[in-house]
Amino acid sequence: MHQVALIHNPRSRRNRGLAVRLPAGLTAASPMTPAELLASLQDYARREVDLLIVSGGDGTLRDVLGLLPRAYGDAPLPAIALLAAGNANLVASDVGACMPSRDAYTRLIAAAGAGRWRREESRRPIAVQRTGEAAVLGFFMGLGALNRATQYNHDHIRTGGGASVAITIAASMWQALRGVGDWAQGDPMTLRIDDETPRTGSRFLFLASSLHNLMLGLWPFWGSRNGTMRYLDIDAPPPQLARSLLPLLRGRPTASMLASGAYRSSSAHDIEIRSTTPMIVDGEPYPAADGCYRLAAGPALRFVTP
């Protein structure tokens, strides 16, 4: 018999104004601070909760995952069922999720009781380690244009879901093509991939992800799949960006893109980055005091969908 519990974020976009009807006996919490979230997860660990429902977006899941290993210690981590209540819901689009509704929790409890899931997926988030600080766990992260695109989204984009992602990408690339501000000039950083020699220079964009798919058919990665995370590394200013944009978003670089040496993508087990700008992790900026980030595979997680 599964022990089931819920973390509910009432501030998530699709949860606002939704009347929540919880099945009898479902343990639930709506923590508003990291301390409250940790306390809730520690309580769930004591109750031996082995199925955790997370109702929120990518940010809610990121916050939960960052504290889950600390709360559970050496005990097995619970399986996770997502209710996609956020803005972009990148993780949910990859691993599967329910949409928030008044009967969603009843369906989840019924599936758990029967032990029958329509879909089960295993993923390992990327652990972003900053010197002297606890690791942040996320599935999609980067620097350079992603910083500017995230700020642009917060300031100008009011649409949710896949449309938000598409509009943000289009607007970001348009700014870079027009040469507005420092979009195309990038940010200086030093990047080391596994045991390769570190490369220092200005980057237009660096991305890393451990997801298997992105929404809208976007997949800006190519090359080896042997590592635990995929990455994209683009020099600044990016040559022939207008001509390279569509092949880039589809992960099908042209011969001229590869010949330029400015567009690189593959997979890796360990990445170290030195940069003075914050890293965007699942939509939120995380600065490192000394400008050093180390990326490696996080714990294996099981995601279930009824």
Average pLDDT by consecutive 10-residue portion of the chain (306 residues)?
87 65 85 96 97 92 94 96 84 90 85 90 96 89 86 62 58 65 82 96 94 88 94 92 88 96 97 94 88 95 96
Structure-block tokens of residue 140: 């999609």
Structural domains in the chain (count): 2
C-alpha count within 13 angstroms, C-beta hemisphere, residue 300: 3
The type of residue at 244 is: S
Question: Cα separations (Å) of 280 from 12, 96, 145, 214, 248?
Answer: 19, 23, 10, 17, 20
d(CA 70, CA 65): 9
d(CA 233, CA 74): 36
pLDDT value, residue 19: 63
d(CA 170, CA 75): 44
Q: Which residues pair with 15 in a beta bridge?
A: none
Q: State the DSSP code for 262.
A: -
Q: Which is nearest to 283 in space by CA: 157, 138, 162, 182?
A: 138
Residue pair 167/301 in contact (Cβ under 8 Å)? The answer is no
User: pTM to 2 decimals?
Assistant: 0.89
pLDDT value, residue 139: 96
In a domain, 128, yes or no: no
Residues 167 and 61 in one domain: no
In a domain, 34, yes or no: yes
Range of the domain at 119: 4-123
Listed residues 123, 153, 174: the one ending a domain: 123
Residue pair 76/50 in contact (Cβ under 8 Å)? The answer is yes
Contacts of 250 (CB under 8 A, 6+ apart): 217, 218, 219, 220
**Edge-to-edge strand list for the sheet holding 4-8:** 27-29, 4-8, 51-56, 79-84, 301-305, 119-123
Q: Which is nearest to 253 in space by CA: 281, 271, 273, 232?
A: 232
- Evaluated on CA atoms 120, 43, 125, 159, the torsion sign reads positive
Residues 190 and 70 in one domain: no
Residues 91 and 28 in one domain: yes
pLDDT value, residue 185: 81
d(CA 165, CA 205): 16
Residues 268 and 205 in one domain: yes
In a domain, 176, yes or no: yes
Listed residues 74, 98, 123: the one ending a domain: 123
d(CA 64, CA 37): 7
Structure-block tokens of residue 45: 């660990």
Task: Supply the CATH number for residue 10's domain.
Answer: 3.40.50.10330
Residues 162 and 99 in one domain: no
